[in-house]
Amino acid sequence: MTDTGRMEDQLRAVMTLVDDVLGPEVVGAYLHGSAVLGGLRPASDVDVLVVARRSLADGERRALLDGLLGVSGFTGGLRPVELTVVEQSAVRPWRYPPAGDFLYGEWLREEFEAAGPPRPAAMPDLAIVLTMVLAGDHPLAGPPPAHVLDPVPYGDVARAAAAGVPELLAELAEDTRNVLLTLARIWSTLATGEIRAKDAAAAWALDRLPPEHRPVLEHARELYLGSRYADEAWSAELTARVGPHAEHVAGEIAKLSGR
Q: Is the pLDDT of residue 141 over 90?
A: yes
Secondary structure class of 84 (helix, strand, coil): strand
Co-location of 17 and 98 in the same domain: yes
CATH number of the domain residue 108 falls in: 3.30.460
pLDDT for 42 equals 72
Co-location of 87 and 44 in the same domain: yes
Co-location of 143 and 36 in the same domain: yes
State percent of the chain over pLDDT 90. Answer: 79
pLDDT for 39 equals 72
Co-location of 253 and 133 in the same domain: no
Domain boundary among 125, 152, 179: 152
Co-location of 145 and 215 in the same domain: no
Q: Which residues pair with 81 in a beta bridge?
A: 46
Co-location of 21 and 82 in the same domain: yes
The mean predicted confidence, pLDDT, of the chain is: 93
pLDDT level of residue 67 (50, 70, 90 thresholds): very high
Q: Is the pLDDT of residue 1 over 80?
A: no
Co-location of 168 and 79 in the same domain: no
φ/ψ of residue 121, rounded to 5 = -160, 160
CB count within 10 Å of CB 102 equals: 23
CA distance 161 to 193: 11
Co-location of 94 and 199 in the same domain: no
Co-location of 35 and 8 in the same domain: yes
> For residue range 98-130, what is the model confidence (pLDDT) as tens digits?
999 999 999 899 999 999 999 999 999 999 999
Residue 172, Cβ density class (10 Å: 0-12 exposed, 13-18 middle, ≥19 buried): middle
pLDDT for 2 equals 63
Secondary structure class of 96 (helix, strand, coil): coil
Co-location of 96 and 136 in the same domain: yes
Domain boundary among 152, 178, 199: 152
Q: Is the pLDDT of residue 259 over 70?
A: no
Co-location of 109 and 195 in the same domain: no
**pTM for the full predicted model:** 0.89
pLDDT level of residue 134 (50, 70, 90 thresholds): very high
> For residue range 217-246, what is the model confidence (pLDDT) as tens digits?
999 999 999 888 878 899 999 999 999 999
Query: 105 lies in which domain range?
Result: 3-152
Task: Encode 192-218: b = buried (16+ Cβ within 10 Å), e = exposed.
Answer: eeebbbbbbbbbbbeeebeeebbbbbe
> For residue range 175-213, what is the model confidence (pLDDT) as tens digits?
999 999 999 999 999 999 888 989 999 999 999 999 999
What total of structural domains would you count in the chain?
Answer: 2
Which of 230, 203, 92, 213 minimizes the C-alpha distance to 150? 92
Domain boundary among 152, 177, 192: 152
> For residue range 26-58, what is the model confidence (pLDDT) as tens digits?
999 999 988 888 777 776 789 999 999 999 999
- Give the catalytic positions in this structure: 82
Q: Is the pLDDT of residue 89 over 90?
A: yes
CA distance 54 to 101: 9
Co-location of 24 and 132 in the same domain: yes
Which of 187, 191, 188 minimizes the C-alpha distance to 251? 187
CB count within 10 Å of CB 160 equals: 24
